[in-house]
Amino acid sequence: MSTLSVATIKSASSAAPVFQNSSGTEKGQLVKVWAQIDGTGTVGTRDNFNVSSIGDQGTGHYRVNFANSMSNNNYCATASGSQGSYGSGSHLDGVEVTGYASGSIDLYCSGSTSDPSGRDDFEQVSVTVIGAN
C-alpha cells in the first residue's frame, strides 16, 4: 500500500477531482457544499464550505445559497437537525430537503413544538451536498 501525502490536490481540468481505482472506475467524489447552520435568532452558519449565504425564509425554512453553483438540479443532499442545545444531540427532529436548484437548496424543519405552519426554528441544522458541478 502507498501513502500519498500532499498539501494540495488539483484537477487537470476545471472539474472537481474524482477518486478512481486502478482500472479507472470512479469510486467517489468530494463533498461540494456543507454547512452547520444556527437557525435561531439571526440565522447564519457556524462553519461551511461553498456557501455564500443562508436565507431565513420564515419559521423553520432556510435557504442555503451556494457560492459556486451546481451544473444541474440532480444532486444528492442530506440534512439533519435538532431543536435542542447546540452539541447536545437532544431532541432530534425532522429536516426536509426540497427546492433543488443549481444555486441553492431549501430546508424545512419540523419538531415537537411546531407552530401552526408545522415548522420550527432549529438551533442546529447540518446539510451536505454531493453531485456534479
- Domain extent, residue 64, equals 31-130
Is there a domain that residue 2 lies in?
no
Residue 116 is assigned to a structural domain of this protein: yes
Within a domain: residue 91?
A: yes
pLDDT at residue number 13:
84
Ranges of the chain with pLDDT below 70: 84-93, 112-117, 133
Distance CA 100, CA 60 (A): 17
Number of domains in the chain: 1
Say what the pTM is: 0.80
Question: Is 10 inside a domain boundary?
Answer: no
Query: Is 100 domain-assigned?
Result: yes
